[in-house]
């Protein structure tokens, strides 16, 4: 099993729009053979951080 975890930084004003735009990518990743899960989420503490 391979687990990849990371984060990226976005302008806090653009965070929701960035996350909304990732919905298709999340669906495609989850449909990939062997993928058990894929998630992108807003960090609860840092308004500019997106957890992957």
> pLDDT digits over 16-48, tens only?
999 999 999 999 999 999 999 999 999 999 999
pLDDT of residue 7: 98
> pLDDT tier at 10 (50, 70, 90 boundaries)?
very high
More confident of the two residues 3 and 7: 7
Max Cα-Cα span within the chain: 36
User: Quick check: pTM over 0.85?
Assistant: no
Q: Which residues 6+ apart lie within 8 Å of 29 measured at CB?
A: 35, 38
For the chain, what are the domain ranges? 7-51
Cα-based distances in Å from 19 to 27, 28, 37, 45: 13, 15, 17, 16
Closest CA to 38 of 28, 26, 49, 50: 26
User: Is it the case that residue 2 has pLDDT exceeding 90?
Assistant: no
Q: Count the alpha carbons within 13 Å of 2 in the hemisphere toward its beta carbon.
A: 3
């Amino acid at each position: 099993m391979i687990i990849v975890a990371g984060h990226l930084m976005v302008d806090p004003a653009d965070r929701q729009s960035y996350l909304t735009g990732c919905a298709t990518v999340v669906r495609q990743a989850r449909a990939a053979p062997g993928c058990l899960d894929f998630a992108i989420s807003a960090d609860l503490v840092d308004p500019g951080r997106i957890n992957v």
